Structure 1
Amino acid sequence: MRDSQFKYGRCRAAASTVDITPPDNMYHRMWGAAVHDQATGVHQSLEVNLLWLQSGTTAEGDIGVNVLILSVDHCLFWAADLEPIKQSLSAATGLGPEQIVIYFTHTHAAGLMDSTRAELPGGELIAPYLAEIGAKVSVAAAALPDKLEEMWLTTSNGHCSLAQSRDYWDEARDSYVCGYNPVGNADSTVMVIRLCDLGGNAQAVLVNYACHPTTLAWENRLISPDYVGPMRRTLRHALGKIPVVFIQGASGDVGPREGFVGDVEVAVRNGRQLGLAALEALAAMPVEPAEFSYDGAVVSGATIGTWSYKPFSSDQVESMSRFESIQTSFDLEYRSDLGTREQTQHDLDALLAAGADSNGGVDAARNQRALVERLQRKLTRFRGLEEGDCFHYQLRAWRIGDVCLLAFNGEMYNMLQLDLRAAFPGLALMVGTLADGSSCWYLPNRESYGKGLYQEDASIIACGGLEQLRDAAIAMLNIQGHQ
């Protein structure tokens, strides 16, 4: 009998880290309730962690399958601001856009990098900063092919209670709010992938966990990666200064138990909690990839069942080195009650003309700014809508041995990763969301529509879209024979 606790893959890989910390007076407002526009300093550095994976040269001399993964410390970039960065990466590496995936860690404390906000305090820094990011990551990515070497991918699942349900029924308001729900459910899975060279040295770590990085909110005025930064520091304290690629899971309905605060020390504690959980998963891994199988009984005071590690056979190594790129596309229907761009603009103009209640003090001013921000975000959603009644969704995945990396655009409810992993227990599934941003916005599960939740208000896809997406992902993997 073989133990299947750990899953393995093998390919050529290289990784690096780039500092992308913006100026400390950068436009910073991310929260509607914030009364400030500019940052006043930096809590921790922002990073991009890059990982290039390659299948290796085929017998015909082709370079095989390639994917370049970037983990970026920002909430997200709108499509118009992201596209130049992807084009720069493509030109620098020779990879097609479909071979490059930019995952956002989704920190809400790095500011909304929207180049159309140039007229706001600190907003004039946004466009040059985005251009600088594009230049930096392109240089770093172009250097990775020369560093590619054969590596083992070893996966392990740990558990962390940082993430909790964030759909809470407020009895006083007689409505749902976006906040900690002590009786809700959340997936605690922390998926960790260790990338080691053939000498057994860890060269990079990938951490996949679903939890909205909303520790820091409107009272915070410091640029911060939220809990993701302290998580990386915790890992590097034990492993050395290696790239730590954080991939946000399906966290649409989950966030930290202690969140929406201004105290950066809370983010440090939250990150340390996740970092220690990831280290526990890493500590459980075998020193070298090998098969852990049953040896037989040894008669002692009790009859002992003994297990040991054995080297993989050449056939097993070949199977674990199989590297495939998989993709599918399909249409998701838009909601029929989105309203119109014209009406939203009219509502925004009226709100701006009315201004805040002069007798309402700070709270009235904050509420008015928040309502303006809501309508501006709604206009942004309208600008991104495609022609017709549907959103054309493209789903990508890469399988390396028993490891499968999924790239979902948008913000999905926790259900997605639970259902996918249940459907494929023989695979180590990295469920990565916010891949190339969130053009389709939120996808709540069917039961969450009609409740007045924030996530439904911020969605453009009709009820049932998440279930359709899940089913399409399962079908895509099944078609490839990956039951």
Structure 2
Amino acid sequence: MTSHSMPSTTRLGDRLAVPRTSAGIGVAVRDITPPVGIRAKNWGPADWARAEGAHHEMTLTALAIVPAADPGAGPTEAVAGRVRVMITADGTWWRRVADEWGVRGRVLAALGLEADQLTLSLSHTHAGPVLCAADEHLDGGELIPGYLESLGDAAIAAAKQALATAAPGRIEWARGRSALAVNRELDVDGRALVGYNPQAEPADDTVLVGRITSRAGETLGTIVNYACHPTTLSWQNRLVSPDYVGAMRQLVSAATGAPVLFLQGASGELSPRQQYTGDLDVADRHGRSLGHAVLAALDSLPAPGTELELAGVVESGAPLAMWEPAQAAGGEAIAGCCDAVDLELVDLPTLAELEAGWADIDPRSREERLGRARNLRDGYIDGPTVRHPVWAWRLGDAVVVAHPGEAYSRLQTTLRARFPGTPIVVANLTNGPGFVYLPTQEAYDRGAYQAWQTPLRAGSLDRLEAHAIRLVAELLDPAQ
């Protein structure tokens, strides 16, 4: 990371260790920009349904990570072992279990992977196409089933290419900071709103960056993990867009000559200050601000495959400590699991009760809320508790913790504080089922949107955190 731990007494030969993942690495990208006219109505106030074009290209990127002993074995042999495939895609959110599994299940079957070997993460842009085949009957919805099919095709093709081209390489991890995200829990005249709260404590500003390089030092890609809702663009905008992720990706890709995998962090209560606009320039400005933070983190790393060593002392006007690059290795351990935690449900109102409770709001907004509630119940809620899955991977010196919900940022700050020497990637909106908010107790107490929208009882975030801590501890110390 950019802050290095050292012994209390420094000696010649000591090193500033760079956390790394050493493995066979393959990266592949596909364009998943949807067709003009697809349904992209993600906001209640929108008086339109069909997208009229694209702001930036929407992409899907696959990263294959093959354990160091396996590169060269080929994808068929490799998938039988500890290979991991990470797929990131510009997408909104899954609204039904069947749609998510329709894509991810196809990828697992096509690659012969087990459930714990694949993550499919959405960026959570609110300006993307609707990912819900049940909306086929609505304006623009006739294009959704075909788009979901093409999304699965793109994921399979990219993953196969990434596996087939995997060659010895490394991911080196650094931490940066970005002020893009702020707390979006604002109380005005006794009402809980969703918008920038200038009185709140500063938001988690961590940008976790992974520089992906070949053994020869060629940049193959960049992993960017940051927590901030992509809600810059809203109902005034009629173009599909990756929101701020698009301009960030353009800036970083232009500087590095390589693709970018964006993983949306634990951002349940985080967003940009300025949002809910149709101004594309605002989204691009947000993206550039994050992109510069990513580039700064990348520039904090030494040359690929090296770390700084205290090599000697040069006598000048002062005795000069000479920290010089030295070849480095390590980070070969690859392991992972998928393990679910039981979470309790609230006493859910019926759809009729919800409709009556929302009778006084705008009809378009009411129908949007009812549609989300209807879809949430389909294939997910069938008892007093739900099984919430968590994917935990050890990638050398780093750990990935991913789940399908929208956890508050406390999930990532808790994990990183508990394991301070380990780069921990935390990804919301990954795989499924469980596309629900996991708010803090404070959010329930103030009646926040995220708290009354989720079917989960207060305390679910605490249980998720405890579960994730246990999984990470077991990965880092399997003997415990």
Which residue of structure 1 lines up, in the alignment, with residue 274 of structure 2?
258
Query: TM-score normalised to the size of structure 2?
Result: 0.90
Deviation at 1:135, TM superposition (A): 1.7
Confirm or deny that 1:142 pairs with 2:163. no
Confirm or deny that 1:44 pairs with 2:62. no
- Counterpart residue identity of residue 69, structure 1: M
In the TM superposition, 1:196-211 aligns within 5 A as 196-211=213-228
- In the alignment, which of 299, 319, 323 is matched to residue 283 of structure 1? 299
Q: Deviations over 1:361-399 (max 9, x none)?
A: xxx8xx221122112212222224333211112211111
Q: Is 1:204–1:244's contact at 8 Å kept on the other side of the alignment?
A: yes
In the TM superposition, 1:98-113 aligns within 5 A as 98-113=116-131
Confirm or deny that 1:192 pairs with 2:204. no
Which residue of structure 2 lines up, in the alignment, with residue 80 of structure 1?
98
Deviation at 1:22, TM superposition (A): 0.8
SS of equivalent residue, structure 1 residue 450: helix
Q: Is 2:400–2:424's contact at 8 Å kept on the other side of the alignment?
A: yes
SS of equivalent residue, structure 1 residue 475: helix
Deviation at 1:481, TM superposition (A): 4.2
Confirm or deny that 1:162 pairs with 2:180. yes
Distance (Å, rounded) in 2 between the aligned partners of 1:308 and 1:4: 10
Deviation at 1:143, TM superposition (A): 2.5
Distance (Å, rounded) in 2 between the aligned partners of 1:258 and 1:286: 35
Distance (Å, rounded) in 1 between the aligned partners of 2:339 and 2:35: 40
Change in Cα spacing, 1:3 to 1:269, as seen in structure 2 (3 Å) is farther
- Counterpart residue identity of residue 172, structure 2: T
- In the alignment, which of 444, 447, 464 is matched to residue 449 of structure 1? 444
Distance (Å, rounded) in 1 between the aligned partners of 2:230 and 2:18: 28
Which residue of structure 2 lines up, in the alignment, with residue 472 of structure 1?
467
Deviation at 1:58, TM superposition (A): 6.1
Q: Is 1:231–1:274's contact at 8 Å kept on the other side of the alignment?
A: yes
Which residue of structure 2 lines up, in the alignment, with residue 359 of structure 1?
none
- In the alignment, which of 191, 202, 227 is matched to residue 244 of structure 2? 227
Q: Deviations over 1:52-111 (max 9, x none)?
A: 11114469x973311111111111223211212122212321212332111000000013
Distance (Å, rounded) in 2 between the aligned partners of 1:376 and 1:481: 42
- Counterpart residue identity of residue 121, structure 2: Y
- Counterpart residue identity of residue 23, structure 1: P
Q: Which runs of 5+ in 1 are unaligned?
A: 357-363
Q: Which deviates more, 135-144 or 192-201? A: 135-144
Confirm or deny that 1:399 pairs with 2:394. yes
Deviation at 1:440, TM superposition (A): 4.5
- Counterpart residue identity of residue 195, structure 1: I
- In the alignment, which of 64, 68, 86 is matched to residue 69 of structure 1? 86
Which residue of structure 1 lines up, in the alignment, with residue 256 of structure 2?
239
Which residue of structure 1 lines up, in the alignment, with residue 192 of structure 2?
176
Distance (Å, rounded) in 1 between the aligned partners of 2:271 and 2:325: 39
- In the alignment, which of 413, 418, 436 is matched to residue 413 of structure 2? 418
Deviation at 1:428, TM superposition (A): 0.7
SS of equivalent residue, structure 2 residue 445: coil
Q: Which deviates more, 321-330 or 197-206? A: 321-330
Deviation at 1:341, TM superposition (A): 4.3
Q: Deviations over 1:204-223 (max 9, x none)?
A: 11100000000001111111
Change in Cα spacing, 1:3 to 1:416, as seen in structure 2 (3 Å) is farther
Which residue of structure 1 lines up, in the alignment, with residue 346 of structure 2?
335
Q: Is 1:446–1:467's contact at 8 Å kept on the other side of the alignment?
A: no
- In the alignment, which of 97, 102, 106 is matched to residue 115 of structure 2? 97
Change in Cα spacing, 1:383 to 1:4, as seen in structure 2 (3 Å) is farther
Distance (Å, rounded) in 2 between the aligned partners of 1:340 and 1:309: 64
Q: Is 2:388–2:433's contact at 8 Å kept on the other side of the alignment?
A: no
- In the alignment, which of 129, 142, 153 is matched to residue 124 of structure 1? 142
SS of equivalent residue, structure 2 residue 446: coil
Which residue of structure 1 lines up, in the alignment, with residue 7 of structure 2?
none
- Counterpart residue identity of residue 171, structure 2: L
Query: TM-score normalised to the size of structure 1?
Result: 0.90
Confirm or deny that 1:302 pairs with 2:314. no
- In the alignment, which of 323, 339, 343 is matched to residue 334 of structure 2? 323
- Counterpart residue identity of residue 270, structure 1: H
Deviation at 1:195, TM superposition (A): 0.8
Q: Deviations over 1:147-205 (max 9, x none)?
A: 0101111010011100010001113xx21100011122211111110110011000011
Change in Cα spacing, 1:434 to 1:5, as seen in structure 2 (3 Å) is farther
Which residue of structure 1 lines up, in the alignment, with residue 381 of structure 2?
386
- Counterpart residue identity of residue 55, structure 1: P
Which residue of structure 2 lines up, in the alignment, with residue 459 of structure 1?
454
- Counterpart residue identity of residue 92, structure 1: A
Q: Is 1:391–1:440's contact at 8 Å kept on the other side of the alignment?
A: no
SS of equivalent residue, structure 2 residue 235: coil
Q: Which runs of 5+ in 2 are unaligned?
A: 1-9
SS of equivalent residue, structure 2 residue 292: helix
SS of equivalent residue, structure 2 residue 411: helix
Q: Is 2:444–2:452's contact at 8 Å kept on the other side of the alignment?
A: no
State, as a whole percentage, how many aligned pairs show the same letter: 33
Which residue of structure 1 lines up, in the alignment, with residue 369 of structure 2?
374
Distance (Å, rounded) in 2 between the aligned partners of 1:408 and 1:381: 16
Q: Deviations over 1:295-348 (max 9, x none)?
A: 454443233333222223xxxx3x411111134322111123x2234544x649
Change in Cα spacing, 1:95 to 1:289, as seen in structure 2 (3 Å) is same
Q: Is 1:341–1:382's contact at 8 Å kept on the other side of the alignment?
A: no
Q: Deviations over 1:450-476 (max 9, x none)?
A: 211110122111111111111111112
SS of equivalent residue, structure 1 residue 41: coil
SS of equivalent residue, structure 2 residue 38: coil
Figure out how many residues of one structure are paired with residues of the other and give that number: 458
- Counterpart residue identity of residue 423, structure 1: R
Distance (Å, rounded) in 2 between the aligned partners of 1:463 and 1:414: 16
Distance (Å, rounded) in 1 between the aligned partners of 2:134 and 2:383: 26
